[in-house]
Structure 1
Amino acid sequence: MKDPLVLGFVLIVVDVVLWRAAFPRNDTIRLLLRLVIFALLSALLFGSALSPFTPAPWPESPGRHLAAQILEVSWWLIGARLLTLSLDAAFRSRHWHRERLFQDVLGALVFLAAVVASLAFVLGLPVTGLVATSGALAIVLGLAIQSTLSDVFAGIVLNTTEPYHIGDWVSVDGVDGKVLEMNWRATHLLTSQGNVVIVPNSVAAKAKITNSSRPVALHGVSIALQISPEERPATVLGALERAVAGSNRVLQTPAPYALIKKTSINSIEYEVTVYIDDMGKSVVVTNQLYDLCHRHLAAAGIELWPLSVPRPPRHDASDSRQRLLSHVDLFRALKGEEIEALSKRLSRHEYEPDQVVVKSDEVTDYLMIVESGVLSVMVTGPSGPVESARLGPGDSIGEAGVLAGLPVQAQVTALTRALIYRLDKADLTPLLKSRPEIGQQMCHLLSQQQDSLRKLNTEIPVPVGTDRTLLEWLRDGMHKLHELTS
């Protein structure tokens, strides 16, 4: 019969190899193999004189006696480890596997019990005296590491009550970030600046915690604006509601809203609140809201000017048209007298909600510039109509028809009451002849717009079988349409 000591150490070596080599790769299969090896080791020990519940045999042979002690103590430690892994696999939810606190604490308790049992059964040491001595030592250590113990017990409370999980966006003690890790000492947060902030569990347990990931797929974003009290609140609220309607990045349920937060002698504070389905969009949506509010307030004649500062004179209608043209990307390079000349050519048109402004594939011989209101731009994608953008004050549509005679590759509909100014193609031709660089800039901007439509798989009516780029084709189309010299 083979020596049980040799067979026992062979089984331990095999178990260690499986553990260190992480073989097989599947955790469950590897755990089952290790449990089988542990069962074989247990059968070997209990079937011989090497029971882990009795002192090691062969006291007359120091070498074999020491080897037997090592084998029996190893049985206790391996059993403790496998028990921890089995409990972890059987009773914990998936996200608990990533939160190490319970795994560490439970493992420590199991290993402590295994060490005490091996000292009592294998080595025959008096456990009562050991426990008394360790109790006094624990008091001394507890006083020395009381802050660490506070973090551990606070971590147990946090993991039990579960105010947040791995991957949640939270605000803890004034720190906003995404939860990366929760361990026995602290919570690790990844901020929007890309920094990792470590918040001790004792601080987190006492702090006010805001979890932006609950309920799922619903997060509020708010901005505040200070408006002069001279402006009528109903007019301001109407402009802010149109600004909110100008964003297609926010959820419509719950409905966004604007309200008066508080008033003072110098200003009235308004708050705009919208909801999004992903906290990763909060920065983009916040910046977009500020821009939309600024544009719609300006379109309503509301200037962000405090009462304590002298207000500049109000602009008349002609000045408003010039300011509107100067905000259009196509005309940013124009001089003041050129803007003034074009503004006199603008014609005013009003549209009611749900009224179609431009039909899909319609070739317009005029440029439309939004003065106020919100327009929806719908394009036809692979899966049907999809909203590509929403237009607000200062936005324009129809550049393709005015510059190169191309149809509008979208249907434009008024979402709210809208005021639009038109600039006819014939009024644009003299400017293109006198300022060729303006035409080049317009073609570049139009080329970028057409590229955006291509990303939505919208067909662009460019001739097939030509080596010219889209920009060159647009430039040639503009020259032919406006009878410009090359």
Structure 2
Amino acid sequence: MNISIKSIFYIFILFGMSLSVYTLFNQQESKPNHSENQSGPSLYQQQSKAKKESTALFNEPEIQKANMIYTRVTIKKIRNIDINLATASLDFEINFHYDNEGCHPENIRFLNATETDLPLAPMQKRKSGNDIWASYEGVGNFYIDQFPGTYLFDRHQVGIQFQHNSLPISNLIYIQDKDLKNTQTDPLIIDPLSGWVVTDTQVFQDIEMRTTLGNPKYLHAFEGKMGFSRFNHGISFKPSQFSLRGLINEWLAWRVLWVSSVFLLIAAFIVRWPRTMWGVTAICAILVIMSIESLVLYGFAPYLTDYQMQWITMGFDILWWLVPAFCLNLFMRRFVFQSMTHKDGLYVANIVPRFVGFLIYTFACLGIVAYVFDQEISRFLATGGIFAMMIGLAVKMNVADVISGIAINIESPFRLGDWIQIDQHEGVVTDITWRSTRIKTGENAILCIPNSKATESSIQNYNTSEDLNWIKIKVPLSHKICPVSIEDILMAAVLATKDVITDPIPKIYYKGTAELNAWFDIFFCIKDYANRKRRIDNVWTSIWKHLRNAEIQLSMMGQYFSFPQQKLFDILDGLKILDGIGIQDKLELIPHFKSKTFAAGQVIVNHQIKASDEFFIIRKGAVRVYFPSDDGELIEVDRMGAGDYFGETGLLGEAYATQIKAVTDVTIDAISGDILFACVDDRQPFLDQLRHLRLRRMINRKQQKDEYEEALAEKEQKKMSLILRLKQFLWPKPLTQTTNGAS
């Protein structure tokens, strides 16, 4: 069963949502039993006017009253923090407000100090009526994490915890004095250079139950235990380093988790703005992980041991390295490599994104080793280097292929889709893997060439940056003919071939005579080098037709291959369109043909201005057929050369907005349509041939027009500026319907 990464992530979200529900319903139970708003222990009832009264009812059946001591503790400095010994030194001040001088609230014992009987130095004491204010200061070593309640992982707490030495809760109760000025805890009570920082303060009072051990003073104690009022003042602190852990507290975590999960589910079904939705998904994914981490670490902290919490924390630390690595790798694939392929038209081999992903995950693993497992990377790299050396010796050739593959992708001697030749192997590049380059040969076979062999061999790439390929062919002709006239005929033959690119213009070079032959080199450009053989065959066919009409001899090793003299009757008899006309009718047509010459660039027929009713046969030269595009620009849709014919549209009396122009000097035989029809007895077969020719040419020219407009639209799209793309991305146009019948 195949499980995608998205499915695993959604399962992770469902787990977090369930955890948030559990945390929400157990939030009251998991709260610590202390807070700043808690006014006292639950074993006594403070009266509504407790501040003005010096005592409170306690153990009502015996009508006892306890002295209320309003207390405030100020920690001035925290020094010498030692987590291993779990101790810290505190400089503190204690203020008491009471009205019974005989209770001696300063007679206290510190429960979390290394020495319980710390001396207190009196600072000041003043009296106003029955009210007494007394201040004391002290210095001592206290244990860390000795307070009752819930502890957050990776945080510590130190403070002061004391009770009266002799008076139980039935006689004395320490209560936080809220009328005294309660200033904010100074974050500088811990030296910033110590590596710790203050997070918050906890102040509360509770009860400590102690056994009486038969003390006569506590004979009324229930079950031999007596409760003593205990005052607690703690400072929480954590390591002073940046961490995403703890940015979202437990109260906010489940809310962030639910909101982020809803946005993730919505983004999963929206496909209109893929980049925006990807950004929303990435942000929500990070918030989901932060929320689940907060719920797990701080919600389950009271129920798990430190050893278990260390393993859970290590898992989240590893996750925080792997998740950004995964997102970065996904970003590179979607928005860098795919964008280069689809928008810029560049071919990116599979080895490039794979190698980039390998580097990203390698750095992530090194970060895990260094910061999660707290190991030195140098040792790891040294050990890995020795291991890599051993593996390299075992797979020497494979390593050479991989390195050669990286070099091929950096230097880019060829790309996917290029037609290349490596040694004697020739074909189109279909893939570039870690070990080999795969090419598809002309026989439709896949050939795998090791990358090391490809880099060591000579590589011929037949694809240029403009996707044009120069082809060279050699034509042997009789040395008895003037080279200038032959160059004109060969140029017309090449330009009359449809698959030949006319910009840049083909080139004809006379190479002189050799072996009783006059050699001419013809250079021309084509697209799609994979089909070059068919393109060359078409050029040779056109050369043969033009040489035949010009009655020029081919030569090979001094042996001449002469074409029979082409008379007009032979030409008419060879035209397929005149198959339905008898020999006698063809003989009657010959006297009516008139020879016409047109210079290069001259318009022969322009149906946009005046429809022509003549039938034309090209005897020499090449012509181009143009058709207007939607914006009125003339585009080339066809080419014709010696032996071809045109004029079928005018003979049928139909309007077709074409223009035919001479490419080279052209000689044409023309006959009027009226004379042509007058000399033909059986017109129906001839008309059928004309309609069939017109339909075939119309379909072909319409296809050429559509291809031109598609190429033009693609070219215009590539020219769009970056600002316009960004505008369309940020403010997409709404879809509107403009149907005529809409109301």
| TM-score computed with the length of structure 1 as normaliser | 0.68
- Look up the equivalent residue of 1:225 and give its one-letter code: V
| TM-aligned CA distance change 1:118 to 1:419, over 3 Å | closer
- Look up the equivalent residue of 1:323 and give its one-letter code: D
Q: Which residues in structure 2 correspond to 1:26-41 (within 5 Å)?
A: 26=275, 27-36=278-287
Q: In structure 2, what is the equivalent of residue 390 of structure 1?
A: 639
Contact 1:348 / 1:419 at 8 angstroms: preserved in 2?
no
Contact 2:419 / 2:530 at 8 angstroms: preserved in 1?
no
Q: In structure 1, what is the equivalent of residue 434 of structure 2?
A: 184
Q: In structure 1, what is the equivalent of residue 418 of structure 2?
A: 169
RCO higher in 1 or 2 (8 Å CA, sep ≥ 6)?
1
2:670 equivalent to 1:416: no
Distance 1:90 1:399 in 2: 53
Distance 2:512 2:289 in 1: 70
Q: Which residues in structure 2 correspond to 1:129-140 (within 5 Å)?
A: 134-140=384-390
Q: Which residues in structure 2 correspond to 1:188-207 (within 5 Å)?
A: 188-189=438-439, 197-207=447-457
Distance 1:413 1:67 in 2: 81
Distance 2:361 2:702 in 1: 63
| TM-aligned CA distance change 1:109 to 1:381, over 3 Å | closer
Q: After superposition, what is the alpha-carbon deviation per residue over 1:346-403, rounded to whole angstroms, capped at 9, x for unaligned?
A: 534132314444453656564221111223444455433624433321122233444x
| TM-aligned CA distance change 1:42 to 1:147, over 3 Å | farther
Q: In structure 2, what is the equivalent of residue 220 of structure 1?
A: 470
Q: Which residues in structure 2 correspond to 1:60-71 (within 5 Å)?
A: 69-71=314-316
2:575 equivalent to 1:328: yes
Residue among 364, 375, 397 paired with 2:623:
375
Q: After superposition, what is the alpha-carbon deviation per residue over 1:318-345, rounded to whole angstroms, capped at 9, x for unaligned?
A: x43233224423124667x558725743
Contact 2:611 / 2:650 at 8 angstroms: preserved in 1?
yes
Q: After superposition, what is the alpha-carbon deviation per residue over 1:220-243, rounded to whole angstroms, capped at 9, x for unaligned?
A: 344443434454433321211222
Q: In structure 1, what is the equivalent of residue 721 of structure 2?
A: none
| TM-aligned CA distance change 1:161 to 1:416, over 3 Å | closer
**Higher Cα Rg, which structure:** 2
Q: In structure 1, what is the equivalent of residue 410 of structure 2?
A: 160
Distance 2:522 2:595 in 1: 29
| TM-aligned CA distance change 1:69 to 1:454, over 3 Å | closer
2:518 equivalent to 1:272: no
- Look up the equivalent residue of 2:670 and give its one-letter code: R
| TM-aligned CA distance change 1:355 to 1:253, over 3 Å | closer
Distance 1:453 1:88 in 2: 41
| TM-aligned CA distance change 1:272 to 1:146, over 3 Å | same
Q: 1:302: how far off?
A: 1.8
| TM-aligned CA distance change 1:156 to 1:37, over 3 Å | farther
Q: In structure 1, what is the equivalent of residue 692 of structure 2?
A: 444
**SS across alignment from 2:681:** helix
**SS across alignment from 1:384:** coil
Identity score, percent: 20
Q: 1:105: how far off?
A: 3.1
**SS across alignment from 1:368:** strand
Contact 1:350 / 1:417 at 8 angstroms: preserved in 2?
no
Q: After superposition, what is the alpha-carbon deviation per residue over 1:149-204, rounded to whole angstroms, capped at 9, x for unaligned?
A: 112111221222233444x5241415555555444333444567766554433233
- Look up the equivalent residue of 1:142 and give its one-letter code: G
2:341 equivalent to 1:341: no
- Look up the equivalent residue of 1:292 and give its one-letter code: S
| TM-aligned CA distance change 1:136 to 1:23, over 3 Å | farther
Distance 1:428 1:295 in 2: 25
Distance 2:622 2:446 in 1: 41
- Look up the equivalent residue of 2:547 and give its one-letter code: L
2:506 equivalent to 1:256: yes
Distance 1:435 1:300 in 2: 32
Q: After superposition, what is the alpha-carbon deviation per residue over 1:385-429, rounded to whole angstroms, capped at 9, x for unaligned?
A: 624433321122233444x45567544443432222234556645
Distance 1:231 1:276 in 2: 29
**SS across alignment from 1:433:** coil
| TM-aligned CA distance change 1:257 to 1:67, over 3 Å | same
Contact 1:229 / 1:265 at 8 angstroms: preserved in 2?
no
**SS across alignment from 2:508:** strand
Distance 1:141 1:23 in 2: 46
- Look up the equivalent residue of 1:347 and give its one-letter code: F
Distance 2:613 2:368 in 1: 92
Q: After superposition, what is the alpha-carbon deviation per residue over 1:245-298, rounded to whole angstroms, capped at 9, x for unaligned?
A: 435765544332112457541644433223357768867754543333222222
Q: What stretches of structure 1 of length at least 5 have no aligned partner?
A: 51-56, 458-486
In proportion to residue count, which structure has more helix?
1
| TM-aligned CA distance change 1:181 to 1:398, over 3 Å | same
- Look up the equivalent residue of 1:418 and give its one-letter code: V
- Look up the equivalent residue of 1:369 and give its one-letter code: I
2:517 equivalent to 1:235: no
| TM-aligned CA distance change 1:437 to 1:107, over 3 Å | closer
Distance 2:691 2:598 in 1: 32
Contact 2:603 / 2:661 at 8 angstroms: preserved in 1?
yes
Q: What stretches of structure 2 of length at least 5 have no aligned partner?
A: 1-29, 31-149, 155-249, 342-346, 706-743
Q: In structure 2, what is the equivalent of residue 460 of structure 1?
A: none
Q: After superposition, what is the alpha-carbon deviation per residue over 1:85-131, rounded to whole angstroms, capped at 9, x for unaligned?
A: 57778987943894443443344345445546656766688988876
RMSD: 5.0
Contact 1:325 / 1:394 at 8 angstroms: preserved in 2?
no
Distance 1:231 1:171 in 2: 39
Q: In structure 2, what is the equivalent of residue 481 of structure 1?
A: none
Q: Which residues in structure 2 correspond to 1:291-302 (within 5 Å)?
A: 291-302=541-552
- Look up the equivalent residue of 1:398 and give its one-letter code: G
In proportion to residue count, which structure has more strand?
2
2:644 equivalent to 1:399: no
Range that drifts further, 320-329 or 302-311: 302-311
**SS across alignment from 2:391:** helix
Range that drifts further, 250-259 or 96-105: 96-105
2:412 equivalent to 1:150: no
Residue among 339, 348, 354 paired with 1:104:
354
Q: 1:36: how far off?
A: 4.6
Distance 2:649 2:298 in 1: 90
**SS across alignment from 1:349:** strand
Distance 1:80 1:456 in 2: 48
| TM-aligned CA distance change 1:254 to 1:42, over 3 Å | farther
- Look up the equivalent residue of 2:458 and give its one-letter code: K
